[in-house]
Structure 1
Amino acid sequence: MEIQYNRDRYIVIVELSSTAFKILKLQPRVIDRKSNRHEINRYKSFTIGTDIGNYIEHNQINITSYKKHILPTLVTEIEAMTRVQPSIIRILATGYYRTIGNTDELVRLIESSFPNYLKTKGTRVEVLTPDEESYLSYLSWECTYLFSKGENLLDESKLKLNIDVGGGTTELTVFRKPPFKNTISLQIGVDHYMRELLDINDLHSTTIWYHLIEAKERTQAFLNENIPNPKKNIDFAICTGSTLILDKDDETNDEPRLINVVIGQHIFEMEKDLSERIQWKGNKKIEINNNEQKSLRKLFGLIILNEILKYFGVYYSYNNLANLRIGAFHQTKQYLEQLHRYKI
């Protein structure tokens, strides 16, 4: 891949997730100052909702529908990114893009639609393995977390659990140090539960309640089936996912470790709040507005996380405010520094 850059030229990361295009465009000089590296608002991405689950049947995506409804938006956004003449554009595919049965066919379609700028640079769609996807979410924490003086969280003696709760899949890795191996990708995600709920035509308050209970039970069932003998001596977990951020006003990635009963308390408080806002009263038919949908997505995310932590018997966890795209940015920056033997 041809790479031409300097500190002022952008590195662009495009994540094709199950439910959205997520794009991070950042100049390396912006985070060259060490203090800037921990301020998550300096890594702002923009997101365009594109739920490819709507076009999947029998684990195959309808290529014609994707080409008609999703591809034009993707091409438009990529072309917009090329106008800034970035050092490099990486296009990373996760979630359903990896798990569908016709991934190769979809990737060929996307790459054939690339503008000449990307074709001449030899850019390819990188379909991330579960190990790669999980590692990038972890790397985003390692590169941005503001460690307290004397903290030895990265010590190889500590057994860690990396959890990345996404829209279509959830990745789990038990490790002491990278590289990541034997990551388990569970076919459970926030938007999977949300889609099932919102697809119900005659939605009643009791239906929502039962869906929350079912989310807990199904997460437990997936864990029992895929990880029959979980490790129980894990020191702490790193938890990544936009729905897991407890305080949206946080700007610095320095979240203290949580005792996991705190997560259970958040779930209880959110259920109570939703019960009052949505008015769970018997079989009263209801409408769910956008704010309530956001609350439900967060609730489903925290339910998935809580069940995983309980299943592994993890007592402490760190809430990662960063994300896979930030991890990919730092990975790319590190690669360019090594390639050119100096810091960009």
Structure 2
Amino acid sequence: MLNRLCLASLLAAAALGTPVERRDDTQPVGTNPIKNFHTDFLGEQKSSNSCAGRDLGFTGQLGGKWYGVYGDTNWCAQGVTDPDKNPAGFHGIVRDTVALMGNNPLSIQDYHLNGDTPVAHPLQFIPFNSAWGETNLYGFGGTSICETTSGVGAVYYLVNANDAGLKGAGVAKVQIVNGQPTVTQRFGNTGWWWQSSNTPRYGDVAALRDPKSNYIYIWGGAPTSVSNFPDNQYVYMARVNAADAFDLTKYQYWWGRSQGWKSNVLTTFTSDTAVFWGVGQGQIVWSDYYQTYIFVHLSGNNVVLRTATSLEGPWTPDVTVYTATPLASGAYVYAGVAHPYLDTTGQTLTISYTNNAAVIQVIKVTFSK
């Protein structure tokens, strides 16, 4: 009887035009275990074999090595070896690159270098395809490489046609060719699977090869058709068995904690089917130290961490571990990146983030209980 009365009340409220409070699975729940810590600023991340300004750099593992996937990579002028000394002006750009991560988070090794001398510059990682109407100006907002089977990885990205808008989110196969991670195939009839106008932009916010299961999890923002605030700030989730990452029919979509996982593509974009609200691009890692997942992201200029024992949530409130200083007036600080391979115990977590669109800064957080 109570359920029937509640339903009748909701229907009556809807008929009268009264706003109905809906479930919100994005609200923080519980207590964040990260309480005691100190944070050290380490410096700026630069290339050991090239010279460019860049952003993002989401890390992922493939074949026992860790790689970073970067966004817009602005080449420095011919012969410049230090981006801090680069003269003003445009010297060349590619929309994404890939680099090897090592034991020093301040130094990366670029791959797919061109023939420029005396300093070679990185070429594009996710290739544009002119047969699909793409040009070298198209953006491919990639996140972490996720290993599917031994030596084969998937990289998720968002196709950005600039003035023409966002096209869709897709996945590409990554294999090691001549010692370098190389995109060998992009999937979908036009290079993407999930149309941005009516489907979440899966993989654009974050991607994770879950070390606690056989799944790859991907997170993406609301479709472009959802333009009203606050609904346009929700983030949605999908997953797939890692070995099936290149088969669209094998993906599952999170319909919220009240409905769970479904094979049907998500079509309802509200707080009860979302997992996050108002977060930018970030990275999720498993912490052996806390026995929980940690989501690294930025809130304004603050590097913040939230935790959950399940990727489906609920997630705890954010804890601020560092406040960055923007490098210029009006500059943005964004894209939290985790480097978990530097300390597998999880007692420390090295984090990088982008400052002013072309500088990557690095901090190290040391936890204590």
TM over 0.5: no
Return the structure number with greater helix share.
Answer: 1
Structure 1 length-normalised TM:
0.26
Instruction: State TM-score, norm by structure 2.
Output: 0.24
More strand by share: 2
